[in-house]
Amino acid sequence: MEVSPMLDAADGLVRIPAEDLRTLVVGAALFAIGAIGFLTRRNLILLILCGELMLHGVSLSLVTFGKLQNNNEGQAFTIFLLTIAACEAGLALALVLALYRSARSLDVRLWTELREADVALAPIDAPAAVAASSYGEIPKLTPAGAEPAELPRRNKPRK
Amino acid sequence: MSGSEQLTALLQNNSVAIVSMALWIFGILWMMPGRKVTPSRGVIPGLVLTLTGVAGLLLSFNAVYADVSEEVMFWAFSIIALVCATLMITARNPVYAALFFALATLSTCGLFMLQNAPFLAAATVIVYAGAVIVTFLFVIMLAQQSGAAGYDQTAGRAAPTVLASFVLLGTVSVLVSMAPPEISTVPPVDDSLRLAGAATAGEDAAGTAPGGGASMRIAPVDELLAQEAAAAAAAEANKPEPVVNLLSRATVSHPVGSMKGLGRSLFGDYLFAVELAGTILLIACIGAIAIAPRREEGAL
C-alpha cells in the first residue's frame, strides 16, 4: 500500500495531504450546514434530519483521520456512531409523535417552557391557513349510509 | 511576527476560500425562508451562488488525486453532498428536505468509498435507507395534513446563525490545515511482527485445526498480548509509538477499511464496546415503545 505524498509546509513540519485536507473540510462544512439548519428551522422532523447531517460530517472526518493514521479505529468509531445515531433517531421520532399528539403541530416554538427567564418568548404565528390546492375543486364522494356510532372507549386516559 | 501580521497573512493566503465561503453564505441567506411568511424569491440565484461557493472552496485547496477517476468522483460527491445539504436546510417543503437529505447521504457514502471505507459506505446506505423511508412516513403522516404550514415557511434569525457556523467552519479548516505531525500521515505497520506470530501460531495449531490456514486463524488472547509486548519492545527500540490498540492498526496485507482489519478492530479491541452498543440499542428500542403514543390513550 502506498503512502500518499505529504505536503511540506514552510516550517518543515509534515502536514496532512491536501486531498485528505479537502475531505476533512467537506466534513466540517456538512457539520456547519447541519448546525445552521438545526438552529434556524422550526419543523421538528427537519431538526432531526439536520442532526443526522451533522453526524454525517463527523463520520466523514473520523474516517479520514483513520485513513491518515493507517488505523481502523476511525471506522470502528464510525460504526458506533451509526449505532448511536439509530438510537437517537428512533427516540427522537417517538418524542416527535408524543409532542405532535399534545400540540397537533410540528412547530418547535410551541415548546419554549425551558427558556431562560429573561429571554423573550418567541412569537408563535397563528395556525396558517390551509393553502389552496392547485388542483382546484376536488370532487368528493356523496355521503351514503348512516353515521357510525361512536364506540365507548375501553380505557380512560390515565391522569 | 505579530498577531495582526499573522492574521493578514492568513487572510491573504486563503482569500479564494474566504470569498467562496462568502458567496455560499449569500446563497444560503437567499434561499432561507424569512422570519415572516413571504413568497419564495426563486431558487436559481441561490443555487448558482451556492454552487460557485462550494466549487471555489474545494478549488482553493489546490490538490488533485493521482487517479483521474478518483478526482472526478470526489468532485461529484462533494458538490452533490454540500449543495443538497444547503437545499435541504432551506427547503420550504419537508418532503423535499427529506429527498435532499437522502441525496446528501448517498454522496457522503461515495466519499466514504473514496476514503477506503467500502463497508461503512454500504452500512450507511442500508441504515439510512430505512431512516429516510421512516422520515417520509412521518412527514406524510404528520406534516402534510394541514397543507403548507406556517412554521415551514419561516425560519429563525438566519444571518447570525449562518455567520457563526461559517466562522466555525473557517476556524476548523485553518486549524486542521495547521495540524501537528501527530495527527498527520502514519505509515502502515510492517506485518512481519504479526506474520511471525501467526506463523508460530499456525505451527502450534497445525495438529488441532486442519484446514485452518495461518492467515485465516484468529489468534488467541495470550498470543496477541505477546505480540503487543513485542511491538512495544520494537517501538521502544525505534521510536515512541502513541498507538496502543495493536489489532486496529492497518498492516501492509490488510490496509485500512478491509473487512478483516475492521472486524479484528471491532471484535478485538472494541469487543466490550460492541456489546454495550447492542445494549444501548435495546434500551433505545424500549424507550421508543414507551414514549410513542398508544391508541387506547386516545392517541392519533
Which of the four pLDDT bands, split at 50, 70 and 90, describes residue B199?
Answer: very low
User: Is the predicted pLDDT of residue B209 greater than 70, yes or no?
Assistant: no
Query: Would you state the pLDDT for residue A85?
Result: 92
Say which residue the cell 388542483 belongs to. A135
Q: Do B184 and A6 touch (CB under 8 A)?
A: yes
Residue bearing the bigger pLDDT, B141 or B75 = B75
User: Is the predicted pLDDT of residue A106 greater than 50, yes or no?
Assistant: yes
Q: Do A43 and B94 touch (CB under 8 A)?
A: yes
CATH value at residue A14: 1.10.287.3510
Say which residue the cell 395556525 belongs to. A127
Residue bearing the bigger pLDDT, B5 or A50 = A50
The verdict on residue A81 lying in a domain is: yes
Least confident of A101-115, B47-61, B79-93: A101-115
Q: Give the residue-averaged pLDDT of B276-298.
A: 83
Candidates A33, A50, A83; nearest CB to B280: A83
Query: Would you state the pLDDT for residue B83?
Result: 96
B92-104 confidence digits (pLDDT tens): 888 899 999 999 9
Q: Give the residue-averaged pLDDT of A96-122.
A: 79
Cα–Cα separations (whole angstroms), residue A149 to A141, A145, A146, A152, A153: 20, 12, 9, 9, 12
Which of the four pLDDT bands, split at 50, 70 and 90, describes residue A154?
Answer: low
Query: Would you state the pLDDT for residue A102?
Result: 80
Residue bearing the bigger pLDDT, B204 or A142 = A142
Residue bearing the bigger pLDDT, B204 or B94 = B94
User: Is the predicted pLDDT of residue A11 greater than 70, yes or no?
Assistant: no
Query: Would you state the pLDDT for residue B85?
Result: 96
Query: Would you state the pLDDT for residue B146?
Result: 56
The verdict on residue A123 lying in a domain is: no
ipTM (interface pTM): 0.79
Residue of B64, B86, B142, B286 best to disrupt the A interface, most CBs of A under 10 A? B142
Query: Would you state the pLDDT for residue B137?
Result: 83
User: Is the predicted pLDDT of residue A120 greater than 80, yes or no?
Assistant: no
Least confident of A10-14, B64-68, B271-275: A10-14
Which chain B residues are Cβ-neighbours of A87 within 8 angstroms? 280-281, 283-284
Residue bearing the bigger pLDDT, B103 or B291 = B103
Nearest-neighbour CA in chain B from A95: distance (Å): 6
Q: Do B257 and A72 touch (CB under 8 A)?
A: yes
Query: Would you state the pLDDT for residue B299?
Result: 45
Residue range(s) defining the domain that contains residue A63 = 7-110
Query: Would you state the pLDDT for residue B240?
Result: 54
Which of the four pLDDT bands, split at 50, 70 and 90, describes residue A133?
Answer: low
Domain spans in chain B, listed from the N-terminal domain onward: 3-179, 192-269
Query: Would you state the pLDDT for residue A68?
Result: 85
Residue type, B64: V
Three-state secondary-structure class, residue A43: strand
The verdict on residue A154 lying in a domain is: no
Least confident of A117-126, B162-171, B184-193, B224-233: B184-193
Percent of residues, chain B, with pLDDT higher than 70: 76
Query: Would you state the pLDDT for residue A111?
Result: 83
Candidates B115, B146, B283; nearest CB to A23: B115
Which of the four pLDDT bands, split at 50, 70 and 90, describes residue A107?
Answer: confident
Number of domains in chain A: 1
Query: Would you state the pLDDT for residue A70?
Result: 83
Query: Would you state the pLDDT for residue B198?
Result: 46
B191 in contact with A, Cβ within 8 Å: no
Residue bearing the bigger pLDDT, B90 or A7 = B90
B82 in contact with A, Cβ within 8 Å: yes
Q: Do A155 and B143 touch (CB under 8 A)?
A: no
